[in-house]
Amino acid sequence: MMKTLVIAATAMALAAPALAQVTSAAPPATQPATEDKFVKADGDKNGALSIAEVKLADATVTQADFDKADADKSKSLSKAEFDKWSMSKHDKASAPGQ
């Protein structure tokens, strides 16, 4: 009688961790989306995007948009400027009404 109880308890103790062990695969490491966009848009691979390159990547971009993103007024977007711009555009798109 007592032995049966011990066996049952042991079986439950062994089964519990096995049930809890639902493994979920870690999401694959992905490059930041802006990195890919920047590299694709940078047609002459000089590490900066001209207005022409930006417009080629996104025809809806205006000179005013570009000037706003071009923080140092170099007439080209560095990776940092582009990242910041993409992020603010993304925020606007994903958070309507703000």
Backbone region of residue 97 per phi and psi (left: phi > 0; alpha: psi in -120 to 50; beta: other values): left
Contact present, 77 and 48 (Cβ < 8 Å): yes
Between 46 and 63, name the residue whose CB sits nearer to Ca ion.
46
CB of 52 to Ca ion, least distance (A): 9
Interface residue with Ca ion, options 8, 11, 39, 46 (CB under 5 A): 46
CA distances from 63 to 18, 72, 86 (A): 60, 15, 16
CB of 61 to Ca ion, least distance (A): 15
Query: From the CB of residue 70, how many other CB atoms can be counted at a distance below 10 Å?
Result: 21
CB of 60 to Ca ion, least distance (A): 19
Interface residue with Ca ion, options 44, 58, 67, 72 (CB under 5 A): 44
Interface segment toward Ca ion; rule CB under 5 A; list 16-24, 44-52, 58-66, 77-85? 44-52
CA distance 75 to 67: 8
Name the site residues for Ca ion (rule: CB under 5 A): 42, 44, 46
